[in-house]
A and B are shown apart, each in its own frame.
Chain A
């Protein structure tokens, strides 16, 4: 049954979405929950069937789509993509389950199911064109979600979101076509398979150009510093469910693509651009953290803090060693859980008060104790408190980058302190002090439906913070093979030196994880 597991995972929600047109309006929510629960179970089955000791691709599927042009339907997962796929199905389930009263709820749920198809497709595709198909297709449902259910500026926000990403990915497409052409020149065969591209060693000047072309596409999606302006609009206008999916999964497409495409395809260019990218990432971390501090709107605080943490992911990715990349992949999961949860929490209070301004709140901890507790745990997770999920990822990312540059790591580290400041001060403004507004005195605490969505996230955030091993080991294995590949492919001496050979450094890594486990035991 595992032969077509990934195809089932991709197309089951889409098929269910199409059948959903027939389901009556009253029952559509139950239908959506059922479908996404089945999908989540299927993704757990995928995890069950996944062999963590194997570093390479598993559950591979292939058939030729356009053989004359080398386009294949090629799927597979490794430790890097596996958990993001599970996260995607998990968040779709939580998103649909916690969906509050929505206009045209049927359209919303069908759209979400189509969105899920594209999300799983992006992370499972191993053919560049197939990847591009899902990558672009994911824009359409999100455009609709922001544009149809968003705030007053929703149309502007949705167009900006769409055009920004669309432009970037078209440049990336040209890069992909060049890559395929170079492959054709080298082998006489057209191919868009990433695995076959991995075997191609390009001269450095070509790598630089192609790196830039891919970088534009990915950096807009992440979004990295000068290209980030679409995201605050998108988050500001999107409905809760849109923000949750956007922050938890869609942004990960960009960082995932860096690990999947940029690093292994262009190792020399990656090393060449390591410092500029790291500088951008650090600007992104510090600048957006400061911007977050200046926000009045609690959703914007969460949005900017989410951009800020994406900077740490980029930094870890461009550390070029196993610790850094593993950490950044783990941080993708952690960031997904935490920022998804924070957006859900903001949605909870928005449903009650229909405002997101922090000045309207204050003293909520007295009125809504359970809500304040959960929010508090998630804020702690967001600032990277030890024993929470983000700590593991951030620590490993920064540790990885420390071996490349001490100064820059230090700078990035200070930003985490800034992060703690703005998150905690936002928390203080909203939850502590006296209840100043009359409306806030009668607010209801989180209800059962919201708890069903939030409790699993809390458990996840703590569990993976305390015991990250089941997730970290498969990630680590796959990342090792990618770093190995990069090390072997690198042609310039600088790149060889910057990318350590994991076979030699493995011992060091093992001791690091042990230390961490020790720390956790003490804390327990």
Chain B
């Protein structure tokens, strides 16, 4: 006979749901507004989304304050988990979303922004990612992941070009495969430990001395494949360049940052304890994965003819670079992961927004893709200021000091040095040199070649509106003056990461 479960309302600690609920409320209210009066301008929806995200962000800042005083919070039958890395990653997710949503305010009209559903999907997606990082329950991770991914597939397809449909279907198929892998992996872990909560799995496996290592390894491989799809680890990366090419530059930039940080947090939760145990083969797999992802993606990026595809491969490489933190597994490394991603998101925001403002509605004759290198040739003579900004973002991505990403690279390589991964540190450093070439290629086109296009004046910056320029300004400012923010960021991140036990 089942006993009645008595749960007091207070014990549920529903407050832990607040950040996600704010995003969901926002999504629903946009739908309601559309029901009451349809055909409203996109600026309304952008601002409504922005306001809800602001509330969301505020609540997370509040949680960060509570966390530093009282430590980790559980809620909703211990399914919700508000620890440092969950708060941190949600701050990044929501913060970056706030910077990306104004990119909808282009001066030209784009199909997808006419639908209010686009914005409500956007907010649902954020809620999904937030659920994904704010739990160590494998089932809720799955639910969050799928919610977010399904919304994202739709948003890609809404861009309404043949390549977008291709991209959405490709992403959907790959995503479905990854979901299958994920379910298999979770099932195996459940079979070993009788639990779907990661910390219980860790305890059970540690208690019997990793005797089920055979099953655990199969489970880990499934999990690595599933999450590898999400963070585009080589060899699960094949969808990335095509999907980036098919979606709008704004959404591609978004995809290079937000889904990945959510993926990193799940990888961190799931694999950190295994890396720290004496499971050598997992370290070998991770080591191989990290090195191959960094290096191979860099080499593919060298031969791209389209700037967006180049940035897609470069973002794969950056993801590989950051995944080294999971392998190293010290607090410094995990701090470096978040530091790197914060700095990366600003620089990448800038780079993709620069592509977005230069996106013309129709391809010119002889132009095979949206952003070939030739399009930027001689930009210094036509639009000097825009060329300098784009050059700045490229230099930052290449890791030239004192711009943003250099500090992330510095801290990450230092964490490898500190933990005795000398060879890894050298590989990371040399990969930055390889990457230097393709970022430089764009600079060379912009600054040292003659313009190839004459007379088409609306070719550059045609999408620029005040809000897009503001976003570029914010990104440039954050990239140039990153050095000032590094210290507070390191201290804040290190506190949150350390107190969560990573």
Q: Which residues of A contact B (CB under 8 A)?
A: 64-69, 107, 129, 132-133, 136-137, 139-140, 143-144, 147-148, 154-155, 158-159, 162-163, 166-167, 170-171, 173-174, 177-178, 180-181, 184
Give Cα A162 to B433, complex, Å: 10
Contact B414 A133 (CB under 8 A): no
Contact B417 A174 (CB under 8 A): yes
Contact B436 A163 (CB under 8 A): yes
Known: A65-B483, A181-B417. A171 touches B429 (CB 8 A): yes
Known: A166-B436, A171-B426, A174-B413. A68 touches B491 (CB 8 A): yes
What chain B residues lie within 8 Å of A171 (beta carbons)?
A: 426, 429-430
Known: A154-B448, A181-B414, A181-B417. A170 touches B401 (CB 8 A): no
Known: A166-B433, A170-B430. A66 touches B490 (CB 8 A): yes
Give Cα A114 to B382, complex, Å: 22
Known: A144-B447, A180-B414. A163 touches B437 (CB 8 A): yes
Contact B417 A68 (CB under 8 A): no
Contact A148 B429 (CB under 8 A): no
Instruction: Report B60-101 CB contacts with A as 1/0, cut-off 8 Å.
Output: 000000000000000000000000000000000000000000
Give Cα A154 to B437, complex, Å: 16
Quote the shortest CB–CB distance from B275 to chain A (angstroms): 21
Known: A140-B395, A162-B440, A163-B437. A170 touches B448 (CB 8 A): no
Give Cα A57 to B18, complex, Å: 57
Q: Is B368 an interface residue (CB 8 A)?
A: no
Report the nearest A residue to B409, measured CB to CB: A173
Report the nearest B residue to A73, measured CB to CB: B483
Give Cα A30 to B202, complex, Å: 71
Interface residues of B in 32-54 (CB under 8 A from A): none
Give Cα A180 to B422, complex, Å: 14
Q: Is B494 an interface residue (CB 8 A)?
A: yes
Interface residues of B in 195-223 (CB under 8 A from A): none
Give Cα A167 to B418, complex, Å: 22
Quote the shortest CB–CB distance from A371 to chain B (angstroms): 32
Contact B448 A68 (CB under 8 A): no
Instruction: Report B183-202 CB contacts with A as 1/0, cut-off 8 Å.
Output: 00000000000000000000
Contact A174 B425 (CB under 8 A): yes
Report the nearest B residue to A107, measured CB to CB: B380
Q: List 17 A-B contacts (CB under 8 A).
A: A64-B487, A65-B486, A66-B407, A66-B486, A68-B487, A68-B491, A133-B401, A155-B448, A155-B449, A166-B433, A167-B430, A170-B429, A171-B430, A174-B417, A174-B429, A177-B425, A181-B418
Interface residues of B in 334-357 (CB under 8 A from A): none
List 6 tightest A-B contacts by C-beta distance, closest first: A133-B401, A170-B429, A167-B433, A147-B448, A66-B487, A68-B490
Quote the shortest CB–CB distance from B377 to chain A (angstroms): 12
Give Cα A140 to B483, complex, Å: 19
Contact A129 B448 (CB under 8 A): no
What chain A residues lie within 8 Å of B430 (beta carbons)?
A: 167, 170-171
What chain A residues lie within 8 Å of B425 (beta carbons)?
A: 174, 177
Quote the shortest CB–CB distance from A257 to chain B (angstroms): 16
Quote the shortest CB–CB distance from B192 to chain A (angstroms): 38
What chain A residues lie within 8 Å of B143 (beta carbons)?
A: none
What chain A residues lie within 8 Å of B380 (beta carbons)?
A: 107
Give Cα A144 to B422, complex, Å: 34
What chain A residues lie within 8 Å of B483 (beta carbons)?
A: 65-66
Known: A155-B444, A170-B430. A177 touches B413 (CB 8 A): yes
Q: Is B432 an interface residue (CB 8 A)?
A: yes
Known: A65-B483, A159-B440, A170-B432. A177 touches B417 (CB 8 A): yes
What chain B residues lie within 8 Å of A143 (beta carbons)?
A: 440, 443
Contact A148 B414 (CB under 8 A): no
Contact B401 A69 (CB under 8 A): no
Contact B433 A170 (CB under 8 A): yes
Q: Is B410 an interface residue (CB 8 A)?
A: yes
Interface size on B, residues (CB 8 A): 34
Contact B410 A68 (CB under 8 A): no
Q: Is B25 an interface residue (CB 8 A)?
A: no
Partner of B410, one of A64, A137, A177, A184: A177
Give Cα A275 to B47, complex, Å: 69
What chain A residues lie within 8 Å of B426 (beta carbons)?
A: 171, 174
Give Cα A415 to B430, complex, Å: 36
Quote the shortest CB–CB distance from B436 to chain A (angstroms): 5
Give Cα A484 to B414, complex, Å: 32
Quote the shortest CB–CB distance from A206 to chain B (angstroms): 12
Q: Is B296 an interface residue (CB 8 A)?
A: no
Report the nearest A residue to B415, measured CB to CB: A177
What chain B residues lie within 8 Å of A166 (beta carbons)?
A: 433, 436
Q: Is B58 an interface residue (CB 8 A)?
A: no
Known: A147-B447, A180-B414, A181-B418. A133 touches B436 (CB 8 A): no
Instruction: Report B415-451 CB contacts with A as 1/0, cut-off 8 Å.
Output: 0011000100110011011001100100110011100
Give Cα A162 to B440, complex, Å: 9
Known: A129-B410, A174-B413. A65 touches B437 (CB 8 A): no
What chain B residues lie within 8 Å of A174 (beta carbons)?
A: 413, 417, 425-426, 429
What chain A residues lie within 8 Å of B402 (beta carbons)?
A: 133, 137
Q: Is B400 an interface residue (CB 8 A)?
A: yes
Contact A136 B401 (CB under 8 A): yes
Quote the shortest CB–CB distance from A224 to chain B (angstroms): 19
Report the nearest A residue to B425, measured CB to CB: A174
Report the nearest A residue to B431, measured CB to CB: A170
Q: Is B411 an interface residue (CB 8 A)?
A: yes
Interface residues of B in 387-421 (CB under 8 A from A): 395, 400-402, 406-407, 410-411, 413-414, 417-418
What chain B residues lie within 8 Å of A167 (beta carbons)?
A: 430, 433
Quote the shortest CB–CB distance from A482 to chain B (angstroms): 26
Partner of A67, one of B401, B417, B487: B487
Contact B401 A132 (CB under 8 A): yes
Give Cα A177 to B426, complex, Å: 11
Quote the shortest CB–CB distance from B146 to chain A (angstroms): 39
Contact B444 A69 (CB under 8 A): no
Quote the shortest CB–CB distance from A131 to chain B (angstroms): 10
Contact A173 B413 (CB under 8 A): yes
Quote the shortest CB–CB distance from A326 to chain B (angstroms): 32
Known: A147-B444, A148-B448. 18 other contacts (CB 8 A): A66-B490, A68-B494, A69-B414, A69-B487, A139-B400, A143-B443, A144-B448, A155-B444, A159-B437, A162-B436, A163-B433, A166-B436, A170-B430, A171-B426, A171-B430, A174-B413, A174-B425, A174-B429
Contact B447 A148 (CB under 8 A): yes
Most buried by A among B406, B448, B483, B494: B448
Most buried by A among B407, B413, B426, B429: B429
Report the nearest B residue to A135, measured CB to CB: B401
Give Cα A155 to B490, complex, Å: 39
Give Cα A132 to B418, complex, Å: 20
What chain B residues lie within 8 Å of A107 (beta carbons)?
A: 380
What chain A residues lie within 8 Å of B395 (beta carbons)?
A: 140
Give Cα A167 to B440, complex, Å: 14
Give Cα A485 to B439, complex, Å: 43
Give Cα A155 to B444, complex, Å: 8
Give Cα A439 to B483, complex, Å: 56
Quote the shortest CB–CB distance from A154 to chain B (angstroms): 7
Give Cα A123 to B230, complex, Å: 46
Give Cα A418 to B194, complex, Å: 82
Contact B401 A137 (CB under 8 A): yes
